[in-house]
Each structure stands twice: as C-alpha cells, then as structure tokens.
Amino acid sequence: MNARTRDVPDNRRLLRVIVVGAVFMVLFGSALHFFYGWFGQSTLVGLLAPVNESIWEHAKLVFLPPLL
C-alpha cells in the first residue's frame, strides 16, 4: 500500500461513521427533549435541554447533539 491509497478514506468506513453519527443525533436529540423532566427540573440541565415548547428550546435540540 503506497502513501496515496493510504490517505484515501474507505467509502464503507465513511458511510458507517455518517450513519452512526446520524443515529446518535436522532436518539440523543429525542432523549434530550425529556431530560429536563427526568432530572427533576434542574437549572443546569435546563441550560442544555429544552424546558418548554418555544422555538429557542427546539433549536437546542437541533444544535446540541452535533456539537457534542
């Protein structure tokens, strides 16, 4: 294997990483919707998890999982 082929990503590995990442984001984002209630309405959890149904709170669901 030469240096050129070693630097090219394997398409199957890349697809696996994308699929696992997408599944993580969907599952974690969905669970995040309930974290505030599950953790006894903790202020610290409320900074990261949605506490009501406002647009800002749903934006947390979209941006936090990919950020992690």
How many independent structural domains does the chain possess? 1
Reported as a single tens digit per residue, the pLDDT across 3-31 is 555 666 678 888 898 899 889 888 888 88
For residue 28, what are the domain limits? 21-67
On whether residue 13 sits in a domain, the answer given is: no
What is the predicted pLDDT for the residue at 38?
93
On whether residue 14 sits in a domain, the answer given is: no
Cα three-residue angle 33-42-52, rounded to 5 degrees: 40
On whether residue 8 sits in a domain, the answer given is: no
Task: Using the predicted structure, report yes or no on whether residue 1 has a pLDDT greater than 60.
Answer: no
On whether residue 41 sits in a domain, the answer given is: yes
On whether residue 34 sits in a domain, the answer given is: yes
On whether residue 57 sits in a domain, the answer given is: yes
On whether residue 7 sits in a domain, the answer given is: no
Q: Contact, 49 vs 65, CB < 8 A?
A: no
0.75 exceeded by pTM: no
